[in-house]
Amino acid sequence: MPKSVTPATPPTPPSPVLNRLPPLLPNAQMFAPTTKKTFREINFSILNGEEGGKEDRPLIVQFCGNDPQQILTSAKVLEPYCDAIDINLGCPQDIAKKGKYGAFLQDDWELIYDISKR
Confidence category of residue 66, pLDDT binned at 50, 70, 90: very high
Average pLDDT of span 68-96: 90
Domains in the chain (CATH in brackets) are 18-117 (3.20.20.70)
Question: Which among 32, 64, 91, 96 is annotated as catalytic?
Answer: 91
pLDDT digits (tens, 9 = 90+) for 18-62: 444 444 456 787 777 766 667 777 777 777 777 777 887 888 888
The 3-state DSSP class for residue 98 equals: helix
Amino acid 19: pLDDT: 40
Look at 90 and 35; give whichever has higher pLDDT: 90
Amino acid 31: pLDDT: 79
Nearest partner of 61 among 37, 27, 36, judged by Cα: 27
| 82 is known as an active-site residue | no
